[in-house]
Structures are given as structure tokens and as C-alpha cells.
Structure 1
Amino acid sequence: MRIQWKKYVIITTIIATLLTGCGSKQSSGTTTSSTNSVTDSSTSSSTTSTTATAMSLSTSQVVIDKEFSDRDLDSSYDDSNAVHITLNDSSIEADSESGLTIAQNTLTITKEGTYVISGTLNDGNIIVDADDTAKIQIVLNGVTITSSDYAPIYVKTADKVFITLAENTDNSLTDGSEYVQTDDTSVDGVIFSKADLTLNGNGTLNITGNYKHGIASKDDLIITSGTYNITAVKDGLNGKDAVKVKDGTITISVTDGDGIQSKNGDDSTKGYVYICDGTINIKNSQEGIEGTAILIENGTIDIVANDDGINATSESKGDGDFGGKGGGTFENDTNVYLSISGGTITIDASGDGIDSNGSVIISGGTTIVNGPTNSGNAGFDYNGTADISGGTILVAGSAGMAQGFSDTSTQYSILYNFSSVSEAGTEVSLTDADGNKIYSYTPTKQYQSIVISTPDLKKDATYTLTSGSQSEEITLSSVITSGGEQSVGGHGGDQGGRGMKKFQDGGQAPDMGGTGNSETTDSGSSN
């Protein structure tokens, strides 16, 4: 039976501006001579080119630096002028005493330069304690370091530190379950930095964090290349000011923290996650990716989360503890947003699949959300507005709090709540009036609600949405179309596209006190 559908929206306004996007690939890592071995070119005019675009909310104060310096990208180094350090189980040797001190099993780097480290150190540390203008490159050339009561690598003072993974090397860093603090800083990561920190190279780094975080920076945390396998108790990657990923292969599994997090309770202009490209596999986490502003422009991202898959939220002013949870309010936080303009994102969430305490902007890429299965959460949840202008998204989750896109979108979308739950492994498909399959997917969790949007959806066209034995015919009379069982949830200023009871009496909407059907202005394209 053909059924007309009613839009369910509250009109809100979103203003967006275009930002430049991801640039060229980094140089391959070699141990050849390089004239800028410890020079950070972020102060020069030479930065990566821009090829992609992402959207940013004009109401947000977060200032996102999307540039990567030449030095961030270049993992080469001048081996002939570097200091070479050998780790010998419980002792340390160096071919020069310039720029460093050695005290039993602790190496302290005190001057700008390049330091190539190899070997195994049992229960020891590398500490950077240099001038706050110093730029230091640490090359891990087949290193294994364990530290029973402190961070294996601690950057105490520097301007910027580059940790380079030498080509084709395996490197491992492991800490203990308790730390003995040595200064007024609460050091809590296997690699912990109080300065800007960049990781690059063509080797592998294995991180085992038994205390708290895997890699943590009080400033920016940047990854431009390399392979990273991170296991930790708390966050896998944590940058208080920012986490920026240009490229690389990153695998994260954490038991009681977030895969990637950046929030700054002391500065409302900071605390963002920017993913330009790369392969990121968050195999276990509480929140997969969390930040005040989150921009994803490309890459392959897989997330398994016990709570929210992607969570855009701010941190309370003054709460500087890494891993602190924000949110908890249904009010629209105008400083918060999530922007997706490219990439392939797959989420398996027990909480909200995508959650923003502010707004959501999708202009490209492919995003798939599996879950949640409980009605107290939603596959798609936001407090501001959710605009889609490009890309493909499919959300398969519970119906209780289901939410669709806002009518400020320019690409057509559907929110439909089926009358009964479909089990995991039941394909959902959308076909046009001629029987052509527009999109299909087989969710990995049980679901009752579907949110779907693709560039192929057209105004006034009729589609059939099918899940197992359940099938409904839907006509897109407006840019957002919703139907099926009523969603019981609702919060914030926008109830965008929540599921509605099926219209009765030949598909006509029930009388809501007006004269005839009330239609919201359609802002979508007609072609």
C-alpha cells in the first residue's frame, strides 16, 4: 500500500564555512642526509597543499589548524650528524656526550638535535628536558623499553618533539600499572609530552599502557605516518589541544577510555580531532572518537564502542583531567560539532552511534552505524542541527530515541521505524519504483530504526524500504521524510525527523488543528 509521509522538524539555522582540506602525502622515511633534520617548517610558508573540503560551524570558537609542517611529514634524518644511543638491558651507551646525560637506566636529552636509539632497556626511561625553544628528533631504530613505575618516554620541556620510526623496524614501549611521580606533572601515558608531539616514519610502534593512556600530549598530538598498535587502560591517543592524523595505520584497544580524545576545559578554541587520512581501527573503547570539534575528511575508520561511537562534546571549564567525560546535557552546545566530508566510517556502538551535543554536518564519505540495540540510546543523536549535503549514511539501530536529519539539509533522507525488530544479519535495502537497488546493507546488530541518505534520493520519487519480511513504500515529498512507529525520545532544540506513527485514512495526516496538510518548506534539490 502506498503511504504518504509527514515531515517532523523544528526549524533551526546553521551557518557553515568552507575550510581547506587534506594535503599531499608525506615523504618516505630514509636515513639519508636532510638539511632540516630538526627544523620545524611550520613557521615557514611551506605547508601541505589543500585538496579536500570540510565544513565548520560558524558559531564554534574552536580554531582548527589543518596544516602539517614539512617537518611533520618528513621522516628522514641526517644519520651522520645524529647522536647514536644503544640500550643494553640495564645500561645505556652513547657515541657522544653532547646534548644528553645518562644516569643508570635513564637517558635525559637536554639539547636540540637528532638522537637515534636502538636496543633494549629494562625498567628505564627516556626524558626530554631541553630549552622551550628546542626541536628534537628521536629516532626509534628497533627499540624495546619497559618501565615499571613511569612513562618510558616523557617529554618534560621542549618546543616540539618528533618521534620517528625507522624504516622496517619494530619498536615496543610498555609501562607498569602504577606510577611514582617525579615532579608536579601528573604523567599518565606510555609516551607523555608537555610539548607538541609528532610521530612519523615507516616502522611499527607497539604501545602497552597498563597505567592509563597510550600516547598523551598536553599540547598537539600529530601522527603523519607509521604503524601503531596501542593497548591501554584509558585513552589510546589523547591530545589536550588537538589530535591530528595525516596518515598511517593505527590500531587501538582500550578497556576504560576512549580510542581518540581531544578536549580542553581551559581553552574553548582548542580540543579538536582532525583526521585527514589513514587507516584507524578502534577495536574496543568506551567512546571511539571524542572531541569538542571532530573533522573527518578521508580515511578508513572502524570503531567498536561500549558507549558512543563518535562523540562531539566539550569538557567542563577547569576539568583538565585526561579522559574526563563531557556532555550530560540536552542543550545545544554551539561550540561543538562533527563534520564528515569523506572517508569510510563503520561504527558498532552500544551507546549512541553518532552523538553531538552541538551539530552534525555531513557533506561526503560513507558512514555506517550498527547499534545501539537498547532504546535509551540512538544510532544518530544531536542537540543542534544535522545537515547533509553529500555522501552516504545508513544508521541501523533502536527506535526509542531515533532521530533523523534536519530540514536545513539539501540532500534527501529517510528515517523509518519498523513495527518490529529485525535480527542481526537481516539485510536492509532501498529500491526505486523500477526495482533498482539504491542501497543495501546487512547490519551486524539487531535493529528497528533506519536512517538513510544517499545522493541518489530524489524529490517526489517513490522507494521501497525492506528489512526481511517487513517492507514499506515511501514517497519523498520533502527533504526529510519520516515514518513508522513513534520515537519516544526527544531533547534539545531540534527533534529533526523523528519517526512518526503511520498515517491513517488513505495516507492523509491526522487533523492537527489546521486546515489541510501543513508542509514545511522543502530546501532540497529537485534533481
Structure 2
Amino acid sequence: MTIRTRRPRRLWLAAAPALALTLVVAGCTATEVASSSASDDTVSAVTEESDDTVVTVANIDTADVTAADVLAGNQDTHDKDDDDEYDLDEATTVTFSGSAATISGEGAVDEGDTVLVSEPGTYVLSGEYTGQVVVSSDADGQVRLVLDGVDIATDAGAAIDVQAADEALIILAEGSDNSLSDASSYADDADANAALYSSADLTVTGTGSLTVTGNGNDGIASSDGLVIQSGTITVDAVDDGIRGKDYLVIRDGDISVTAGGDGLKADNEEEAERGYVLIEGGSTTVDAGDDGIDAFTDVVTTGGTVSIVSGGGSTGAVADSGAKGIVAGVVAVLEGGTIDIDASDDGVHADAYLHLAGADLTVASGDDGVHAEQELQVSDGTVTVTTSYEGLEAEIITISGGTSDIVASEDGVNAAVPGGGASEPESGDLSAQFIVTGGTLVVDGGGAGTANDGAGDGIDINGDWTQTGGTVITSGPYGGGDGAVDADGTVSIDGGVLIALGGLTTDLDMSAQSAVQFSTTGIADGTALTVVDASGSEVGTFTADGSTSITVSTPSVTSGSQYSLIADGSTVATASAGELTVTQGAGGGGGTGGPGGGAPRP
């Protein structure tokens, strides 16, 4: 089995799941560890930076956390359902032509190449402008900028710069096409560094369209919260596409982002309830040079369609290059929506917990398909990993529901202690766990159906495997140090179905549920197989991958009874249940499976 050392990214959580996480960020030395007197179960973390900012994240102690749980602990959003409503009769109109502006109403003045908005109210912008719109309002109340066929391009900084406001709204008027384009560069200490920038909470709403070109840095950015309620929004930025420091929330809309840096981002590093990304609906497409979605704390999806390409995608990617599809600094809960990721590094990555709780997720990855530093749970939805180095990876992996189909060139599922050291039995550290209570998991590990050694395992557990339900079909090599089932601890089956196509590198604890193992000469990949008992009753069906060893455990398999393996109507092997061969160090016949090949199907 193989466990690789990873390049540290943000936080590295150093202890087991607990009732509170104390994260030391932006600054301790490697020897400093945060602690809490409130609980003996505090999880601590260290960074390699300098400065002392301590963030405490409470009420997250497991991957079995819902979207509602996560959001209940985060800062509430600022937006309201009626943010897209405004009264034209009370609005100030600003009509642009070249570098000039014609203003009708109160609260805005033309200062020459700049229109300054200084009061709350509604401002309708139209025409073409080679200047900036600056908002500087100290009074309570919303500043509503209605974009109604406006094209603002400037080389002086941000096209729209909200320097001060109680709250800022960008309303895309019905049927309107609008565009914003900024300067080609910014000073290192510039506050405003995006084509559309706000120092206040910002909401983008309405049914019109907006094209944003971030020539100098980001496309759309807020140093507070940012909510996109609706609209057709296209962003092309040299750095980050859309960034909300405290939070980025997408409720609806048709959003397309091309970014040299991160696509969607929330980067508040000081406050535990902030720095999160939430996607509720709409259609979002991201093509990012770095991470597709990057949240310093949490990523939550409850609906919508999300398509991400990061770092150029998985084809020809270099492992650990850093460009991931979705990154959560603490927890990710993908509870709804359809998500398609093509990433040069991990497809989905969480620095602590990751719950796949109902989303339909498809991943092609140059490294791990789905990775959590501590716990990963699949409870609902579909998970399809079409390409990966390792498919599912975490210290604790629980499959309690859903349908997962995993293809990997190394381990299809890898439960491993983080940090890079192998957790062999003699070390005494068997804290990694693989738990199956429901759902369906189909795994095609590296070298599936072959006698390859070192190609990877179907399922590799650096600890104990406990199964009380569900269906697991795992395919891996036969022989050498790898196999379809590889565990350093015990493999205990007491309920559910386990079908292993390939070798067993560890024995099965059959005290509760027996298993039958067939030895074949190598059945052609894709052949339909059926296991029957002595009376001809069907025990299970699946698809061959070329393996010469096939192990089947179901609640109906009885130790000592005879079973037959049927292919194309003919018996190809017989065996007595309870007599298993562990293939560690053994050789085996070849087959036609392998990475990207025919994974077995239920």
C-alpha cells in the first residue's frame, strides 16, 4: 500500500475529530499549537507562517454534518428577497457618453472622468463611459446602481468602486446588456483591485446581463459579503474571478468565470463564521488556473449546476500541482446540485471534514478524486470518479448511502493516517477506518484484473474495515503486495454484500458472515457472472474484470456450503464457503482489466 506525503496547504489538522476545532492561522511558528481550556477534545492545528490569529470553529466534530448545520454556525447573509425592486420615479439617472456624464436627480455629481455617488438611493446608469463610478456614502441605507445598458471602461482603477456604503446593490435591468472593464494593473497597496469592487456588502441581482473583464486583478470582489441572486454574468479575470471575503453566495443566475487564479473565492482568515462559499442554484461554469472554488472555511452546495475545470484539467496533470476543483479549509458539504469537475490536482478537498450528502458529483482528477484530511462520508447522491490517482481518500471513510463508482490508477479507496507515514500493524497506529453501512460502492483500483504488484489496491485501509450493510464491489490486482482488499487491521463483514475481484492481502473475519472464494483461469473482462448455491438459487450477480480470484460475501453465504460460479450459462468454478486464500506474495494470472478499463458493475 502507498501513502504519499502532501504539500501543506493552509491548515494541517493534527488530531482526531472533536467537539471544537481550534485552528491557528496566519501565523504561528511550526512549534506553536493552539489550545482550549473548554474541552479536552479540542483539535489543534499549526501553520508555518508568523503572526497570531486564533480561529475557533465549534460544533463540527464529524463528517456527518448537514448543510443546515454548517450554515447555522456561519454569518448570516445580508441580502433580501426584494433587492431587485426599485422605483424609477425616485431614481437619479446618469447617462454616459465618452468621458462625460449627464445627471438628473440628487446624490451624484460629475467630477470629470469620475461620477461620485455620495448618498443612499437608486441610480440608473446607461451609455458608454471611459471613466469610473465611485460610491462614497456614509449614511445608512442601500446604494442601488441599476445597470441599464451601460459600458464602463477605465484605465484608472476599478470601473465601479464602492469605497463606502451601508450596503451596495448592482441591479441588472431587464433586457439590458452591460459591461465593466478596469485598469491593466494596480498598486500593491490598492484597496480596490477588481473591475467591480465593493468595500461594503454587495448584492448582484436582476434579470439582465453583465460582462466583467478584470484586466489588472480580480473580476468582481467585495471585502465584506457578496451575494449573486440572479442575472447572466460573465467574468474574465487575470487573477480571481468572483471573490467575497466574508462569504460568496450564489442563489441563482447563469454565471461563467474564466480566471487566471481561483474561480470563486471566500478568503476571510480571521473569523471562523466567515470565509465560506454557498451555492444554492443557477448554472455556474468555472475555468480557473488555480482552484475552481476556494473557501478558507466551508463550501456548501444545496442545488444548481456547477462545472469546473481547474489547472487545465486532469489530462497530463502533475500530481500535487495545487489546482483543485473545490477546496474547503474546514468542511465541505455537497448536499444538492449537479457538479462536474476536471481538476489537475484533487477534485474535491477538505482540510477537515467532507460530506457527500445528495449532490450528483462527477470528477476527473490528476490526483485524488475526493479527499478529506480527517473524515469523508458518502450518504446520498451519486459520486462518479472517472479518472484519479486515488479515488476516495481520508483517515476515516464512511459509506452510508448513495451510489459511488470509482476509477483510480493507484488505490480506489484509501483510508490513511494523514502526514505521509504508513500505518503498519507493528506501529500500533491503526486509527484509519473504513465503515460501510449502506449504499453501493463500485471500485476499479490500479492494476485491476492483473497480477501487477505496486499498481495499487482496489480498497486500501490502514486500519480496520467494518461493514454492516450496503454493497461493495472492489476490483484490484492479484498477487504481490496489492489486491482488491488490503487492510492492516481487521476486515469484519456482518451484513451487506462484498464482492472482491482480485487478491485478498488480508484475511476476512467470517465469524459473523462467511465468504466464498473462486479461483479461475481468467474470465474475459465484461462477462456477466452469477454465484449460485447447491440448489441453484442465486446468491449474487456482477461483471468480470479478468481477475483469477473472486471472493463473494453476502448474508446468504453459509460456511462449509458449496457454491458455483456461472458464466454464459456454464459453471466455471466451484468452491466451499469459508476457505479463503490470502494472496500476499503470491503470483496470479493475467486479465484484461486495468485503469480506465471495465470496472465490475452490480
When normalised by structure 2's length, the TM-score is 0.58
Tell me the matched-pair count: 393
After superposition, residues 246-257 of structure 1 pair within 5 angstroms as 246-255=251-260, 257=261
Q: CA deviation at 1:249?
A: 0.5
- Counterpart in the other structure of 1:187: 192
Distance, in Å, in 1 between the alignment partners of 2:95 and 2:16 is 61
Secondary structure of the residue that 1:411 maps to in structure 2? strand
Cα RMSD between the aligned structures? Answer: 4.2
Q: 1:66 to 1:121 in 2, by over 3 A?
A: closer
Query: What code does the residue aligned with 2:103 have?
Result: A
Partner in structure 2 of residue 457 of structure 1 = 440
Task: Render the CA deviation track for 1:108-159: whole Å, top value 9, x for unaligned.
Answer: 111111111111111x100110115231111011001111130010001111
Q: Which SS does the other structure have where 1:297 is aligned? A: strand
Which AA in structure 2 matches 1:117? L
Letter of the structure 2 residue corresponding to residue 70 of structure 1: D
The answer (yes or no) to whether the contact 2:443–2:475 under 8 Å persists in 1 is no
**Which of 113, 119, 140 does residue 133 from structure 1 map onto?**
140
1:510 aligned residue (506, 510, 514):
506
Amino acid across the alignment from 1:145:
I
Offset at 1:63? 1.0
Within 2, Cα distance between the matches of 1:77 and 1:401?
A: 50
The residue number in structure 1 matching 2:97 is: 88
1:398 aligns with 2:388: yes
- SS of aligned partner of 1:80: helix
Written as runs of structure 1 = structure 2, the 5 A alignment for 1:38-77 is 55-56=66-67, 63-65=74-76, 68-72=79-83, 75-77=84-86
CA offset at residue 503 of structure 1?
Answer: 7.8
Output the CA distance in 1 between the equivalents of 2:392 and 2:379.
20
Separation of aligned partners in 2, 1:484 and 1:478: 21
Per the alignment, residue 308 of structure 1 pairs with 324
Aligned to 1:174: 181
> Conserved in 1, the CA contact under 8 Å of 2:132 and 2:156?
no
- Cα contact 2:185–2:217 (8 A) shared by 1: no
Measure the CA separation in 1 of the matches of 2:304 and 2:150.
Answer: 29
The equivalent position to 1:218 in structure 2, one of 215, 220, 223, is 223
Structure 1: which 5+ residue stretches go unaligned? 1-10, 17-52, 314-335, 422-452, 489-501, 521-525
> Kindly tell me: are residues 132 and 361 of structure 1, through their superposed partners in 2, closer, same or farther at Cα, counting changes over 3 Å?
farther
Q: What residue number does 1:353 align with?
A: 347
Higher-Rg member (1/2): 2
Instruction: Name the structure 2 match of 1:280.
Output: 284
Report the AA paired with residue 154 of structure 1. Answer: D
| Structure 2 unmatched ranges of 5 or more | 1-14, 21-63, 312-322, 412-435, 451-456, 460-466, 484-498, 514-554, 556-602
Would the alpha carbon gap of residues 160 and 414 (structure 1) be closer, same or farther in structure 2, given more than 3 Å must change? closer
SS in 1 for 2:346: coil
Whether the aligned pair in 2 keeps the contact of 1:62 and 1:272 (CA below 8 Å) is no
Q: Verify the 8 A CA contact 1:347 1:368 in the aligned structure 2.
A: yes
- Deviation, 1:508, is 5.4
Residue matched to 2:119: 111
Q: Using the alignment, how far apart are the partners of 2:175 and 2:110 within structure 1?
A: 28
Deviation (angstroms), 1:245: 0.9
Hey, what's the Cα distance between the residues in 2 that align with 1:454 and 1:290? 31
2:571 — aligned with what?
Answer: none
**Structure 1 length normalisation: TM-score?**
0.66
Q: SS state of the match for residue 303, structure 2?
A: coil
1:128-167 alignment runs, 5 A limit: 128-167=135-174
Map of 1:419-498 to 2, 5 A cutoff? 457=440, 481=472, 484=476
Question: What is the CA distance between 1:105 and its match in structure 2?
Answer: 1.5
Deviation string for 1:32-81 (max 9, x for gaps)? Answer: xxxxxxxxxxxxxxxxxxxxx98159799951436841233xx2321111
Deviations 1:481-502 (A, max 9, x none): 55526899xxxxxxxxxxxxx9
Please tell me the residue identity of whatever aligns with 1:311. V
SS of aligned partner of 1:403? strand
Distance 1:277 1:387 in 2: 23
Which of 332, 356, 375 in structure 2 is aligned with 1:385? 375
CA distance in 1, matches of 2:104, 2:71: 51
Q: Which amino acid aligns with 2:375?
A: T
Change over 3 Å in CA distance of 1:413–1:15 after alignment to 2: farther
Is the contact made by 2:335 and 2:356 (CA closer than 8 Å) also made in structure 1?
yes
- Determine helix, strand or coil for the equivalent of 2:262: coil
**Aligned-pair CA distance for 1:507:** 6.0
